[in-house]
Structure 1
Amino acid sequence: MVHVREMDAADIEAVSTIRVRGWQAAYAGIVPRTYLDAMTVESDAALRRQWFSQPRGESRDLVAVGEHGPVGWACFGPCRSRIPGPRRVAEVYALYVSPDLIGRGIGRRLLDEAHSRMAGQGFETSALWVLHDNQRARRFYERAGYRADGATQDDVYDEVTLTELRYRRGL
Structure 2
Amino acid sequence: MNGDRLDIRAMTADDCDRVAEIRVRGWQHAYRGLVPQPYLDGLDVAADAERHRERLLRGDGRVVNLVAEADGGGLTGWAAFGPYRDGDVLTGDAELYALYLRPESVGHGVGRALLTEAVRRCSAAGHARMYLWVLEGNTRARRFYERAGFAADGGEEPFEVDGVAVPEVRYAKDLLAPRG
Taking structure 1 as the reference length, the TM-score comes to 0.94
State the distance in 2 between where 1:121 and 1:10 align. 27
User: Deviation of residue 56 (structure 1)?
Assistant: 2.9
Structure-1 separation of matches of 2:49 and 2:92: 32
1:13 aligns with 2:17: yes
SS of the residue aligned with 1:45? helix
Match of 2:31 in 1: 27
Q: Which residue of 1 aligns with 2:158?
A: 154
Identity of aligned pairs, percent?
Answer: 46
Q: CA deviation at 1:151?
A: 0.7
**Where do residues 1-171 of structure 1 align in structure 2 (5 Å cutoff)?**
1-67=5-71, 68-81=73-86, 88-171=92-175
- Amino acid aligned to 1:24: Q
- Cα drift, residue 162 of structure 1: 1.2
Amino acid in structure 1 at the alignment position of 2:24: V
Q: Distance in 2 between matches of 1:56 and 1:45?
A: 19
**Structure 1 segments unaligned to the other structure (5+ residues):** none
Within 1, Cα distance between the matches of 2:146 and 2:104?
A: 22
Shift of 1:55: 3.0
Classify the secondary structure of the residue corresponding to 2:134.
Answer: strand
Q: Which aligned segments of 4 or more residues in structure 1 are displaced greater than 3 angstroms?
A: none
Task: State the 1:79 CA deviation.
Answer: 0.3
Deviates further, 63-72 or 148-157? 63-72
One-letter amino acid of the structure 2 residue matched with residue 73 of structure 1? W
Amino acid corresponding to residue 116 of structure 1 in structure 2: R
- Matches of 2:32 and 2:156, distance apart in 1: 21
> Take 1:56 and 1:44, find their aligned partners in 2: how far apart are those partners?
20
Secondary structure of the 2:24 match is helix
Corresponding residue pairs, total: 167
Once residues 33 and 149 of structure 1 are traced to their aligned partners in structure 2, the CA distance between those partners, rounded to angstroms, is 30
Instruction: Identify unmatched segments of 5+ residues in structure 2.
Output: 176-180
1:34, CA displacement in angstroms?
A: 1.0
Q: Which amino acid aligns with 2:99?
A: L
